[in-house]
Structure 1
Amino acid sequence: MDFTGFMAAFALAAFWVNTLLIAGAGWSECAGLRRRYAFLSRGTGARRGVVTAAGADGVVALYTVVQVGRSNGRGPILFHDRSRGSRVLGGVVALADGERRELAEGAAAEVWVSGLPRAAACPDTASFAGALPAATRAAGWERRLELPLRVGDTIWLAGQVDGELVIADADPRRWLARVTWWTAALVLGLLVVAGACTAACLWPPVFGTVSKLGAFAGLVAFNLFQLVGKLHHDAIQPPSLRVLDGQWSAPRGR
């Protein structure tokens, strides 16, 4: 094997090591989430009910995200999450099977809510103009997003009040199923693409046109796999830990 062949073999080995590390990391993270939320698939898993009584202002639970937005004064306001948290204000949930579950104020729980991206969107031109001066300062503009679960809302309870508890406005078992399928698609997709690139690299004659195109495809895939791994990591996070970030662009005037 000459030097060119050695370097080609080394590059191909590095490509596969990178592929297997990313696939393994994704699978390991998924397995960790499935262990952490194993109670979603045990017994009844998640139980649907309706909030019949609640604490202050009819709110039984609250999910909060604090963000800081910054802008150079000409472009959009870019946000990054500073903190997020869940809070139980107390109340009563009438479950579908007739049981009534009481949620004590301050109980440890994860609150999962949908609609957060809509709540974070820029509502109008006046809001953007009002936030822009503060966003151009070094400290940025801080905003607090609160999504409540109220009396009359249909929610799902999973886990025990004195232990692991998830309060969600959508069936959390669907999230767990999506996490599993997305991870399986990631691992299978990485292996299929890596295998296709390898087959093209080794297509005879080696270092011929097809082989060179395969090497170029492998180089592109090598860089894209890391991005795909990062996107997968963000996508499978539970709703209470999912990064929101986002930006406000100046709405077009009428």
Structure 2
Amino acid sequence: MEKTSNRTPAAGKVYLVGAGPGDPELLTLKAARLLERADVIVHDGLVSQDILDLASPTARYISVAKKRSLHSVAQDQINTILIEEAGKGHLVVRLKGGDPFIFGRGGEEADDCVAAGVAVEVVPGISAALGCAAQARMPLTHRDASSAVSFVAGQCKGLSDQNWSGLAGKGRTLVIYMGVANAEAIVEKLIADGAAPDLPVAVLENGTRSDFRALRTLLTDLGDMVRRENVKSPALLVVGEVARYGDADDKFREFATMAGVVA
């Protein structure tokens, strides 16, 4: 049921804006226009400087960057910042990498704004999965390889307790966000949940940016490849036959051969 509030909305407004995966040209027109009008921009660490530079020169920036195992600004505090700044009559842009409603905690922020009587609007962005896959020319669904795609988070609490059975395998694609640091545990989990060890995998690093890399191997080699290639976040893991498609099936074979495994 949708949350409602009897309180009079504040004069300001919060926009939860998707900044996309990094390339400023992938912003929506609405997102770009809001940046030009914003009084306050509350942004994540993954939002590129090129995107921030599109904002009004009079805008005030508030960084709420988070790193793995180091949440410098708690989510409750972020929600409070949004509500307080809108309460001052400001146009507040909450700028998030990718899309606000795909592992962006935008739902929590929207709910708190509504409960506080603050007007809030969501402006979707190109998700990291779509942007990274597009740059690699890797279709997440393909008539010959996959008719379903699932998104999961690879660093959620209780990872071992989650049921991923059926999410990766023949005719299916699994996209794992925030999974690089837990790559080895993810491999163990997927195989335990029924995925074949020789399932193709791609690691898409720094999607839509100039230093983008698409690395290919087999599931059983994923953890070793992450170390071997010194993969760093932001990066996505794509598990499934679609990992063979795109810019370099030869690269997939090269990494698989290097690892001593055969597809």
Tell me if both proteins adopt one fold, taking TM over 0.5 as the criterion: no
Return the TM-score normalized by structure 2. 0.20
Structure in which a larger fraction of residues adopt strand: 1
Structure with higher Rg: it is: 1
Higher helix proportion (structure 1 or 2): 1
Per the normalisation by structure 1, the TM-score is 0.21
